[in-house]
C-alpha cells in the first residue's frame, strides 16, 4: 500500500485537471503540463480532488501508484507557483552570460561553454547566481543538474558550479614538512 498514493489530492481554485486518451493534463495560471498515464494506473477526478488507483495487483502497479500521485502533486504545484533552482558560480574569472535562449559560461576551459535553454524554462543571471524557474519540476531539476555537471565544485578550493546553499567539504592540500636530512 502506498502512503502517498492513498491520499486524495486537492485541486486548488483556478486549476483544471483532465484525463483524455491516457494523457493527464493540468492547466493553471502558470501554463499547461501533460503526462501520459501508465496502463496500470487509473486517475479519478471527483469534484475538487483527484485520486490515483492501481488497476492491477502487480509489483509494477504498486510502484507506479505513489509515483504518479507525486507527479500529479508536482504538476498542480508547478502550474500554480513555478519551481525555482539557483546555481552559484564560484571561482576567479568564472562567469555566466545570457544571450537569447543560450547560456554562455566561462568556467575555466579554453573556450566558453554554450548551453541551450529548453522551452518552458526561464533563466536569469545576476552576478554569479543563475536562477532557473519553470512549471515542470522534472525539467527545472534536470537542466540545473546538467549545468552543474559542466563544472562540479572541486574539493580543494571549492571552485565550480554549485546549488545555492550546497556545502562543499574541502580537503586539506599537500602538507609541507621540514627537510631534516
pLDDT tens digits for range 90-122: 999 999 999 999 999 999 999 999 999 999 999
Q: Give the per-residue pLDDT at 180.
A: 58
Last residue of a domain, one of 45, 80, 115: 80
The mean pLDDT of 64-91, rounded to a whole number, is 94
177 is a domain residue: no
Rounded to a whole number of angstroms, the CA Rg of the chain reads 22
Question: CB under 8 Å to 128, separation ≥6 — which residues?
Answer: 88, 89, 90, 94, 95, 96
pLDDT top residue among 5 and 53: 53
- State the Cα–Cα distance between residues 54 and 4, nearest whole angstrom: 13
Q: Give the per-residue pLDDT at 99.
A: 92
* Per-residue pLDDT reduced to its tens digit, 123-179: 999 989 999 999 999 999 999 999 999 999 999 988 999 999 988 888 888 877 766
- Is the pLDDT score of 30 beyond 90? no
Cell output for 124: 536569469
State the burial class of residue 1 (Cβ atoms within 10 Å of its Cβ: 0-12, 13-18, 19+): exposed
Contact 97, 104 (CB under 8 A): yes
Choose among 92, 88, 91, 74: nearest CA to 136: 74
- Is the pLDDT score of 47 beyond 90? no
Is 152 found in the same domain as 101? yes
pTM, entire model: 0.87
Q: Give the per-residue pLDDT at 96.
A: 94
Domain that holds residue 18: 3-80
Is 125 found in the same domain as 76? no
State the burial class of residue 119 (Cβ atoms within 10 Å of its Cβ: 0-12, 13-18, 19+): exposed
| Kind plus residue range of the DSSP H or E element containing 141 | helix 137-150
Mean pLDDT of the chain: 91
Amino acid at each position: 500500500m502506498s502512503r502517498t498514493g492513498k491520499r486524495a489530492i486537492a485541486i486548488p481554485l483556478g486549476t483544471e485537471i483532465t484525463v483524455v486518451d491516457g494523457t493527464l493534463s493540468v492547466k493553471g495560471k502558470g501554463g499547461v503540463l501533460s503526462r501520459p498515464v501508465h496502463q496500470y494506473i487509473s486517475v479519478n477526478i471527483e469534484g475538487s480532488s483527484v485520486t490515483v488507483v492501481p488497476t492491477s495487483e502487480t509489483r509494477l502497479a504498486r510502484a507506479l501508484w505513489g509515483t504518479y500521485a507525486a507527479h500529479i502533486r508536482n504538476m498542480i504545484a508547478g502550474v500554480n507557483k513555478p519551481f525555482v533552482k539557483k546555481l552559484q558560480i564560484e571561482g576567479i574569472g568564472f562567469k555566466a552570460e545570457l544571450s537569447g535562449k543560450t547560456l554562455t559560461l566561462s568556467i575555466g576551459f579554453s573556450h566558453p561553454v554554450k548551453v541551450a535553454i529548453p522551452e518552458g524554462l526561464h533563466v536569469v543571471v545576476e552576478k554569479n547566481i543563475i536562477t532557473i524557474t519553470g512549471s515542470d519540476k522534472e525539467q527545472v531539476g534536470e537542466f540545473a543538474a546538467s549545468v552543474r555537471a559542466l563544472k562540479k565544485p572541486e574539493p580543494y578550493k571549492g571552485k565550480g558550479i554549485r546549488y545555492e546553499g550546497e556545502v562543499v567539504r574541502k580537503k586539506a592540500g599537500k602538507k609541507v614538512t621540514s627537510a631534516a636530512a
